[in-house]
Structure 1
Amino acid sequence: MQVEKLFTRSDGSYVFARWNRPLAPVVFGVEDETIATVKGAMEAVVALAGHRMAETDPELGANFMWFFIRDWAELTATPHLDRLIPDLAELVGRLEAAEANQYRIFRFDPEGGIRACFVFLRMDSHLADVAADTLALGQVVQSMLLWSDEAFLGTSPLAVMSDGGAPVLRPEIADVIRAAYDPVMPAAATDPSHALRLAARMNAGPLHS
């Protein structure tokens, strides 16, 4: 079933998680206009999910942190970031070696739900060519759930608009997010039968096949 594939990792394990607390975002490294675009994308996806946002997280202050950078080495120079991300220098080395332009790190609460997410975007020529609203929406969608590491390989969670209009979420992915945030669903799951429960709460569409 396709729903199951969205949360089945490359090692064959089924791992699902959603946010278990309101999102309290902070965005570094861009101008106010781009920050507004990022937060607008967050508000849209959070509303779709029926979830919540907050000014601050009582435990972390901010729990959804975005870093726009030009070089991975900037992360090691960011004050106190190594306290939030263990082995930061090692991670930066791996990202540099892979010539990566994006990376996300999740932290989880005792129930397995998402407690925090760190989004790192190295603005190379490829990302610089992506419209800000498209980049923001795509990153928010990929941060709202713990998707499989293969979920969006070769395909985007966003629909391509032929008229060049604002980006939109693919309907089937929107259905998955709505179903995942149904209050009766668990914040985390490792049993593939969870995918059947998701499918039962989704609108009719290709992910039911």
Structure 2
Amino acid sequence: MPLAASEIETLFTRSDGSYLCARWGRPIVPIVFGVEDETLSVIKGAFEAVCALAGHQMAETDPEIGANVMVFFFRDWHELLEVPDLGRMVDGLEPLVQRLHQADANQYRVFRFDAQGAILACFVFLRMDKNLSAVPAETLALSQVVQTMLLWSDQAFTDQSPLGQLENGRVVLRPDIAGVIRAAYDPLMPAVADDASHALRLAARLSAASTQ
């Protein structure tokens, strides 16, 4: 069953009550730091799969910033302060690191936007604590890629993962979330929307797709 408009609306309604959905306005160029080549290929494969689902492009390089999705794997938040030029790309990096360290967080994403409000870049920070280290690489990669494809609510997946498990144990993207991503990347939809009526348009596309 496709999601109802009210369910879609909650996916993009932030904790302050505002509605905001944004998608990428340019091809995605990911780069990954802190993993072995085997894990790197898993992450790149997840980006390729979700971009294919969305009908969005990937590229070898971004003309402005080289790579526009940077995924960092590390053991301690303070390691980020040692990454050259990261403080120039992520505003307020030092207080952010302090806050995440104090909260004992194990993941965080920072988005940058273009003049129209579409996603321009994303920084994914993954502190490999005991919990994240226990997650299979394929599951972790797919979960993170899904959460970089759109600007979801900060509460979108706190109660339920965007992933589901098949009977054979394989982890896949939930069909309802896949449908939302595909609808949001419809060329007729805006790259950014801050009105909840946007959720009605997404729901209409999901409903139409389910009857085809």
Normalising by structure 1, report the TM-score: 0.96
Identity %: 65
CA RMSD of aligned residues (A): 1.3
Aligned to 1:93: 98
Letter in 1 for 2:196: P
Partner deviation per Cα, 1:21-63 (whole Å, 9 max, x = no partner): 0001100000100000000000000000000000100011000
Letter in 2 for 1:30: V
Gaps of 5+ in 1: none
Q: Which moved more, 1:152-161 or 1:95-104?
A: 152-161
Aligned to 2:7: 2
Aligned to 1:198: 202
Partner deviation per Cα, 1:73-106 (whole Å, 9 max, x = no partner): 1000111111101211111000000000000000
Report matched runs for 1:69-148 at 5 Å.
69-148=74-153
Tell me the CA shift for residue 162 of structure 1.
3.2
Letter in 2 for 1:177: I
Separation in 2 of the partners of 1:80 and 1:13? 32
Letter in 1 for 2:33: F
Tell me the CA shift for residue 204 of structure 1.
6.6
Separation in 1 of the partners of 2:22 and 2:163? 21
Letter in 1 for 2:46: A
Aligned to 2:183: 179
Letter in 2 for 1:129: A
Q: Given the alignment of the two structures, is residue 151 of structure 1 paired with residue 165 of structure 2, yes or no?
A: no
Tell me the CA shift for residue 205 of structure 1.
9.4
Tell me the CA shift for residue 154 of structure 1.
1.6
Gaps of 5+ in 2: 1-5
Separation in 2 of the partners of 1:125 and 1:204? 43
Letter in 2 for 1:185: M
Tell me the CA shift for residue 161 of structure 1.
2.7
Q: Given the alignment of the two structures, is residue 51 of structure 1 paired with residue 56 of structure 2, yes or no?
A: yes
Q: Given the alignment of the two structures, is residue 11 of structure 1 paired with residue 16 of structure 2, yes or no?
A: yes
